[in-house]
Chains A and B, each alone.
Chain A
């Protein structure tokens, strides 16, 4: 008996005349490893933006544990337990790798600001605890050696993994990964596959990920939704998706245009 974590019901958003996401409906159960695929411009990232509150849906509902979250401010949604990574990497460039992760972990801080301004022991203790916790996440993502490197000085693949570490630091229940393997070499991709599995299994998270690399998605995800021009054209396990004529046509159409 599985529990529904996220439920999109007819989620729609329109930018002027363009319907970027059109009546998309799917459910995520606890512990799912869920893929969201589709050709370029299909509306995948926009879906993430709807779920994380960057945009407010024009129609439809987005429910997290049965509660409507569509249109809540992003910070509130993060506090409820949804966190994401960005397709076009958005790290805090002047902060070190470790500090980037601490920003995520800071979501759970308890000491008020004035104790920090006065440099009182509780704030210092909390800072230390958050840093240690973040350091452990860097270890999980294999970034411990780079803890004190400025995030903008990291190579591309490591920046992508740092994005994941930062999102995990908020301890989300649902983590959204937007093209986590983009720009990685095959070896790094393989590594990442096992890391994502590990995240789901060891950290008790539900994962929704966007990825263009079919081998990566098919090898990793248990269920997949395919979008094309904002509409959901297929939904099911990898094997069914692979042979779905509509999906083949959408991707072939892209290749021909």
Chain B
């Protein structure tokens, strides 16, 4: 009884949140609507790839292919049938999400069945190849726009997709969490840890792998369906290999296997470049530019700070206070170094004359953030853990291993 109450309340909260956020963002900051949709889609993509790569331990590096299958299938169907369709916009969007999921699940089965039965990294090669083949083939089919892309125009007015996107992300996260919460999730993790031992315990290894792969692909397909209807335009270029790699990076950065890690990493990695794009000079209202000495100074400082933080994490143990002081001190030191060096570099006229557009530096900063994070926390932000306050406390109060042994 209590179970159903909790369940219904959480569902109501999810729906309330999705509709509320949709209406609020559409009303008060329409310019952010598209970004919110894309962020939600990346959360779904990262969490679903995490099911394949993180939880089940397979190495799929072509997630964008399934995103694409969902987008093109539903875009095509929408263009054909919406005119005769009596379903209203909300129902139609949900139907398209389901169709996208089904189409990508089938694609996942076709790709996964043969390659997951083999050991080793065949899956990586096959998924990568599948993505590229699909993209190139699409470029050459003029019925779906070829390399120019295809308009998806099912509705006369604006398309409200954010609520579906948020519900989709919620569903994806819940399904992964439920899996890990019940005994049914253990074989997936067992397959990741040791295939030979799993099969000796009666786990049907290839069926577990294919299941994870198909579920993950299906979510990517549903995300693709929403992309097509939110952007109302899709082209093969939107599903290039680098999209796959960004999703993969989100999973690795969040900590392979950690659902909350994937969510956070997806939002952060999607957010950083978008945020940098919006930065403006407060006076001129032009895109923000940094002088050469500040850029060089901060580069030096970032390098030194990363080195410092690593040393601190290796040397300083003990209680929360000591560690906080050590880390805080290093960061402060980094800021001082950045300032010092920017003053020094400012003395060199050639450097002082340079100006860099932050907008142009976006991808550089993005890459730098990744490198720094991977250097400091190679296991990902969350490691194998899920976020919980207790975990956070344990992390901050971590004691040296020698003391416990």
Binding site for B on A (CB under 8 A): 52, 54, 73-75, 78-79, 83-84, 86, 90-95, 99, 102-107, 109, 111, 113, 116-119, 121, 123-124, 126-127, 130-131, 166-167, 169-170
A92 touches B178 (CB 8 A): no
10 A-B residue pairs with Cβ-Cβ distance under 8 Å, sorted by A, are A84-B200, A90-B197, A91-B194, A94-B189, A95-B189, A95-B193, A102-B183, A103-B190, A107-B201, A116-B183
B124-140: which have CB < 8 Å to A? none
Contact among B185, B186, B200 for A52, CB-based, below 8 A: B200
Contact A119 B186 (CB under 8 A): no
Instruction: For the A-B complex with A74-B200, A95-B193 known, give 18 more contacts whose Cβ atoms are closer than 8 Å.
Output: A75-B199, A78-B202, A83-B202, A90-B196, A90-B197, A94-B193, A94-B384, A95-B186, A95-B190, A103-B203, A106-B186, A107-B203, A121-B3, A123-B184, A127-B182, A167-B200, A169-B201, A170-B201
Shortest Cβ distance from residue B56 to the other chain A in the assembled complex, whole angstroms: 12
Q: Do B182 and A93 touch across chains, with their CB atoms under 8 A apart?
A: no
Interfacial chain A residues near B257, Cβ < 8 Å: 94
B179 interface contact, C-beta 8 A: yes
Establish whether residues A73 and B199, one from each chain, have CB atoms under 8 Å apart when the complex forms.
yes
Q: What residues of chain A lie closer than 8 Å to B183, measured between beta carbons?
A: 102, 105-106, 109, 116, 123, 126-127, 130-131
Are A83 and B174 CB-contacts (below 8 A) given A92-B194, A126-B183, A131-B183?
Answer: no
Taken residue by residue from 203 to 221, chain B's Cβ proximity to chain A (1 for < 8 Å, 0 otherwise) reads as 1110000010000000000
- Please, how many angstroms separate the alpha-carbon atoms of A79 and B201 in the complex? 8
Which chain A positions have C-beta within 8 A of B199? 73-75, 78
Establish whether residues B190 and A83, one from each chain, have CB atoms under 8 Å apart when the complex forms: no
CB pair B175–A117 under 8 Å, yes or no, is yes
Q: Would A117 and B179 count as touching, CB distance under 8 A?
A: yes
B175: chain A residues at CB < 8 Å are 117
Q: B189 — which chain A residues lie within 8 A by C-beta?
A: 92, 94-95, 99
CB proximity of B404 to chain A, nearest CB, Å:
10
**A107:B182 contact, CB within 8 angstroms:** no
Contact present for A113 and B184 (CB under 8 Å): yes
Residues of chain A within 8 A (CB-CB) of B190 are: 92, 95, 103
Complex Cα–Cα for A74 and B198 (A): 9
B389 to chain A, nearest CB (A): 18
B196 touches A78 (CB 8 A): no
* A73 to B198 Cα, complex, angstroms: 12
Contacts of A118 in B (CB 8 A): 178
Contacts of A109 in B (CB 8 A): 183-184
Is B314 at the interface (CB under 8 A from chain A)?
no
Q: Which residues of B contact A90 (CB under 8 A)?
A: 194, 196-197
Which of B187, B193, B200, B201 meets A93, CB within 8 Å?
Answer: B193
- Is A75 within 8 A of B211, CB to CB? no
Q: Which of A95, A105, A124, A169 contacts B182 (CB 8 A)?
A: A124
CB neighbours of A124 from chain B (8 A): 3, 182
- Tell whether, in the assembled complex, residue B182 and residue A103 are in contact, meaning their CB atoms are under 8 Å apart: no
* Central interface residue in B174, B178, B184, by most chain A CB within 10 Å: B184
Encoded as 1 (CB less than 8 Å from any A CB) or 0, chain B from 101 to 124 comes to 000000000000000000000000
Most chain B Cβ neighbours within 10 Å, of A78, A121, A131: A78
Which B residues contact A (CB, under 8 angstroms)? 3, 7, 174-175, 178-179, 181-187, 189-190, 192-194, 196-205, 211, 257, 384
Q: Name the contact of B186 in the complex, choosing from A79, A99, A123 (C-beta under 8 A).
A: A99
What 8 pairs between A and B have smallest CB-CB spacing?
Answer: A78-B202, A116-B184, A107-B202, A90-B197, A92-B193, A74-B199, A119-B178, A116-B182
**How many angstroms from the CA of A103 to the CA of B182 in the assembled complex?**
11
Residue in chain A with minimal CB distance to B178: A119
- B202's partner among A79, A102, A131 (CB-CB below 8 A) is A79
Report if A102-B178 is in contact (Cβ < 8 Å); known contacts: A78-B201, A94-B192.
Answer: no
Query: When the two chains form their complex, are residues A86 and B197 in contact, meaning their CB atoms are under 8 A apart?
Result: yes
**Smallest CB gap from B201: residue in A:** A104
Chain B residues in 8 Å Cβ range of A111: 184
* Chain B: minimal CB distance from A20 (Å): 17
Q: Is the CB of B178 within 8 A of A103?
A: no
Do B201 and A116 have beta carbons less than 8 Å apart?
A: no
> CB distance A102 to B182 under 8 Å?
no
Could you tell me the distance between the alpha carbons of A24 and B358 in the complex, rounded to whole angstroms?
Answer: 74
Q: How far does the alpha carbon of A92 sit from the alpha carbon of B384 in the complex, in Å?
A: 14
- Nearest A residue to B384 via CB reads A94
Using A94-B384, A103-B190 as known contacts, say yes or no to A166 and B201 having CB atoms under 8 A apart. Answer: yes
For A105, what are the chain B residues with a Cβ–Cβ distance below 8 Å?
183
* Residue numbers in A under 8 Å from B211 (CB-CB): 113
Q: Are B193 and A83 in contact (CB under 8 A)?
A: no
Min CB gap B155→A, angstroms: 31
What residues of chain B lie closer than 8 Å to A91, measured between beta carbons? 193-194, 197
Taking the nearest CB of chain B, how far is it from the CB of A133, in angstroms?
Answer: 11
Given A75-B202, A75-B205, A170-B202, residue A103 in contact with residue B194 (CB < 8 A): no
A116 cross-chain contacts in B, Cβ below 8 A: 178-179, 182-185
A residues near B198, Cβ cutoff 8 Å: 92, 103
Find the residue from A83, A106, A111, A121 having the highest chain B CB count within 10 A: A106
B201 and A54 form a contact (CB under 8 A): no
B200 touches A78 (CB 8 A): yes
Q: How far is the CA of A3 from the CA of B327 in the complex (A)?
A: 68
Give the Cβ gap from B395 to chain A, nearest Cβ, in Å. 16
- Measured in the bound complex, the distance between the Cα atoms of B178 and A111 in whole Å is 14
**Complex Cα–Cα for A99 and B198 (A):** 13
Chain A residues with CB under 8 A of B194? 90-93
Measured CA separation A84–B190 after assembly (Å): 16
Complex formed: what's the CA distance from A131 to B175 in Å? 21
CB distance from B382 to the nearest CB of A (A): 13
A126 contacts which chain B residues (CB < 8 A)? Answer: 182-183
A83 near B186: Cβ-Cβ < 8 Å: no
